A and B are shown apart, each in its own frame.
Chain A
Amino acid sequence: MEYVLQTKEITKSYKSNRVLNGVTMNIRRGDIYGFVGENGSGKTTVIRLITGLIYADSGEFTLLGVNDSDPSIRDARAKIGAIVESPSIYLNMSAKDNLLMQSGILGIRDEEKCKSTLMTVGLGELWESKKHAGDFSLGMRQRLGIAMALLGNPEFIILDEPMNGLDPAGIVEIRELILHLNKDMGITFLISSHILTELALVATRYGIISHGKILQEISAEELEGVCRHIMFIRTTDRDSLITLINAECKDALITPLDDGIRIEGEVDINEVLGKIINAGITITSVNTHRSSIEEYYLSMTGGGHRA
Chain B
Amino acid sequence: MRNLYVTDLKRILKDKLFLVTCILAGVFALINPVLNKVLFEILDMGDMLGTVVNAKSMLFTAYVPSDNLGFIMPILIAIVVCKDFSQGTVRNKIISGKSRSVIFISHLLSAATVTCTVMLLHGLLTLGVSLCFFSYQDTAFTLADLGYLMASLLFEMIVYFAISAVVTFVATLAKNIGICILLYLAVSFGSSIVGAIFQVAGAFLDPASKAYGIVEFINALNIYTSAGIGLGTAYTLKDVIYILIAPIGLTAGSVLLGIKMFARKNLK
Contact = CB atoms under 8 A, between A and B. Distances in A.
B260 interface: no
Nearest to A104: B7
Interface string A95-109: 001000110111101
Contact of B92 (A91, A109, A148): A148
Contact of A52 (B89, B95, B264): B95
Interface in A190-218: none
Interface stretch (A23-31, A72-80, A180-188, A248-256): A72-80
Contacts of B99: 74
B3 A105 contact: yes
Contacts of A107: 3
Interface residues of B, number: 26
A147 to B, nearest CB: 12
Contacts of B268: 48, 53, 85
Interface in B67-110: 87-99
Contacts of B7: 101, 104-105
Interface in B9-30: 10-11, 14-16
Nearest to A151: B96
A104 B264 CA distance: 25
Contact of A77 (B88, B89, B96): B96
Given A54-B267, A55-B266, A88-B88, A77 B97 contact: yes
B6 interface: yes
B215 to A, nearest CB: 44
Q: Name the residue among A51, A52, A54 with the largest chain B CB count within 10 angstroms.
A: A52
A54 B10 CA distance: 27
Contact of B266 (A54, A75, A76, A88): A54
Contacts of B92: 88, 102, 105, 148
A93 B14 CA distance: 8
Given A55-B264, A90-B11, A106 B96 contact: yes
B4 interface: yes
A245 B255 CA distance: 77
Contacts of B89: 88-90
A81 interface: yes
A89 B91 CA distance: 10
A91 B97 contact: no
A90 B14 CA distance: 10
A133 to B, nearest CB: 10
Interface residues of A, number: 34
Contacts, number: 81
A259 to B, nearest CB: 55
Q: Name the residue among B11, B89, B90, B268 with the largest chain A CB count within 10 angstroms.
A: B89
B14 A97 contact: yes
A53 B267 contact: yes
B133 to A, nearest CB: 39
Contacts of B94: 51-53, 77
A86 B86 CA distance: 12
B101 to A, nearest CB: 11
Contacts of A76: 97
Contacts of A91: 87
Interface in B110-150: none
A104 B98 CA distance: 12
Q: Name the residue among B11, B87, B95, B99 with the largest chain A CB count within 10 angstroms.
A: B95
Contact of B96 (A48, A78, A93): A78
A84 interface: yes
A82 B264 CA distance: 21
Nearest to B16: A92
B7 to A, nearest CB: 4
B95 A81 contact: yes
B3 A53 contact: no
Nearest to A82: B95
B86 to A, nearest CB: 10
A170 interface: no
A285 B88 CA distance: 56
Contacts of B97: 74-78
Contacts of A106: 3, 96
Given A88-B89, A105-B3, A152 B96 contact: yes
Interface in A19-70: 48, 51-55
B98 A74 contact: yes
Nearest to B91: A88
A62 to B, nearest CB: 16
21 contacts: A51-B95, A53-B266, A74-B98, A75-B97, A80-B95, A81-B95, A82-B95, A85-B268, A86-B88, A88-B91, A88-B92, A89-B87, A89-B89, A90-B14, A92-B16, A102-B92, A102-B96, A105-B4, A105-B7, A105-B92, A152-B96
Given A14-B266, A78-B96, 9 more contacts: A51-B95, A53-B94, A53-B95, A76-B97, A90-B11, A92-B14, A102-B96, A104-B10, A148-B92
Interface of B: 3-4, 6-7, 10-11, 14-16, 87-99, 264, 266-268
The 7 closest A-B pairs by CB, nearest first: A78-B97, A104-B7, A74-B97, A54-B266, A77-B97, A53-B267, A107-B3
